[in-house]
């Protein structure tokens, strides 16, 4: 599966500071070739593990009426504390702090609530669309803000924007070496359902008080999460021979903040327990490197599937067309 955001960002002129969410509706996975899809026939584990992580702090996606970044991160941190997930990592683009007191206050609230921060580059830069040197410059540029907000806490975790780790092996190797030399660990992802893609539709539908549309948004968000969590776990069986402790990619949007209690409840019903990012990424699977040039990157299981040409199990497309057309 491939994330196609870069081509969209460049073709629409949204530029390099656009967050994942700016291109939500144009993004999509390329579906696996149906003839190549092979149903997974094994059994999923009864008690999987997941670390939740949040990208694009302190400002992900458009704001529904009456919301601001401080309110969103206050609520998100409180929800995480309720389920004993202090220390959850949020990955920061420090450009969003510039001249924005609300964003600055939001990030301070997140850290003061006991949550952690890591790097997502200064401006959400695409490694596919830029040189390794430019990308490394953006990692360095992000550091003063991370050090300022995190204080003595460990901020040396790195999440690649768009999950794109290099479209050439030279870039991939150069940036990995840079990260290692500068003390970073890569915050790999195993589960991703592109949660950000629901947010802007929610902002529009809430402005119209369209309760029927909002009910559909909530149900389709949870249904898509369930489908793609199952798919990610099936990929792990195919790629690694067994399930691994998981890292889920979420975004600090208003809608994911609204839905988090329901998502946590759904995960618990599926048998999931929660763990810290550092503990999960100690699993030997996360030390494996597909070592492939991948234009559109992906989760770690995706990268193994794509680089080894392993057939994906069948999966439903996400409802991007409806999300794009709702509540105008
Ligand atoms: Zn991002």
Give whole-number Cα distances, 276 to 57, 126, 281, 301, in Å.
19, 27, 9, 19
Q: What is the pLDDT of residue 28?
A: 37
Instruction: Compute the half-sphere exposure of residue 74: CA atoms within 13 Å on the CB side of its CA.
Output: 9
**What span, in angstroms and rounded, lies between the C-alpha atoms of 59 and 252?**
7
- What are 293-296's contacts with CB under 8 Å, separation 24+? 293/166, 293/167, 293/168, 293/169, 293/171, 293/172, 294/2, 294/164, 294/165, 294/166, 294/167, 295/2, 295/128, 295/164, 295/167, 296/2, 296/3, 296/4, 296/6, 296/30, 296/128, 296/162, 296/164
**What span, in angstroms and rounded, lies between the C-alpha atoms of 199 and 67?**
13
Distance 31 CA to ligand 1 centre (A): 22
Q: What is the pLDDT of residue 190?
A: 98
Q: pTM above 0.85? A: yes
Q: What is the pLDDT of residue 2?
A: 52
- Residue 37: pLDDT band (50, 70, 90) is confident
Distance 88 CA to ligand 1 centre (A): 16
Distance 35 CA to ligand 1 centre (A): 32
Distance 313 CA to ligand 1 centre (A): 26
Distance 252 CA to ligand 1 centre (A): 10
Give whole-number Cα distances, 49 to 190, 205, 244, 267, 289, in Å.
11, 34, 8, 10, 21
Q: What is the pLDDT of residue 25?
A: 37
In this structure, what token pair is assigned to residue 173?
Answer: 């190797």
Residue where the block lists tokens 């997930």: 85
- On whether the CB atoms of residues 182 and 139 are closer than 8 A, the answer is yes
Range of the structural domain that residue 50 is part of: 5-325
The number of domains in the chain is 1
Q: What is the CATH number of the domain that holds 261?
A: 3.20.20.370
């Amino acid at each position: 599966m491939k994330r196609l955001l870069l081509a969209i960002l460049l073709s629409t002129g949204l530029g390099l500071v656009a967050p994942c969410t700016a291109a939500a509706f144009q993004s999509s996975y390329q579906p696996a070739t149906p003839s190549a899809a092979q149903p997974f026939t094994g059994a999923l584990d009864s008690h999987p593990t997941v670390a939740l992580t949040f990208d694009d702090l302190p400002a992900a996606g458009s704001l529904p009426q009456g919301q601001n970044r401080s309110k969103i991160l206050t609520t998100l941190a409180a929800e995480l504390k309720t389920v004993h997930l202090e220390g959850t990592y949020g990955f920061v683009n420090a450009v969003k702090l510039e001249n924005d007191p609300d964003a600055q206050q939001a990030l301070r609230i997140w850290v003061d609530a006991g949550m952690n921060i890591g790097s997502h580059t200064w401006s959400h830069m695409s490694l596919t669309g830029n040189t390794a040197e430019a990308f490394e410059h953006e990692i360095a540029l992000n550091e003063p803000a991370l050090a300022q907000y995190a204080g003595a806490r460990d901020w040396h975790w790195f999440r690649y924007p768009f999950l794109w780790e290099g479209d050439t092996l030279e870039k991939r190797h150069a940036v990995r070496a840079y990260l290692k030399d500068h003390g970073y660990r890569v915050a790999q992802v195993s589960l991703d359902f592109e949660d950000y893609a629901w947010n802007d539709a929610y902002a529009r539908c809430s402005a119209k008080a369209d309760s029927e549309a909002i009910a559909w948004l909530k149900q389709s968000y949870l249904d898509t999460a369930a489908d793609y969590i199952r798919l990610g776990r099936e990929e792990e069986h195919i790629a690694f021979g067994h399930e691994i402790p998981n890292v889920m990619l979420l975004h600090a949007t208003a809608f994911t903040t609204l839905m988090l209690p329901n998502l946590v409840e759904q995960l618990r019903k599926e048998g999931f327990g929660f763990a810290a990012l550092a503990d999960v990424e100690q699993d030997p699977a996360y030390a494996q490197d597909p070592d492939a040039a991948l234009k559109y990157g992906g989760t770690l299981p995706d990268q193994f599937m794509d680089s080894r040409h392993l057939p994906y199990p069948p999966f439903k497309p996400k409802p991007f067309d409806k999300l794009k057309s709702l509540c105008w």
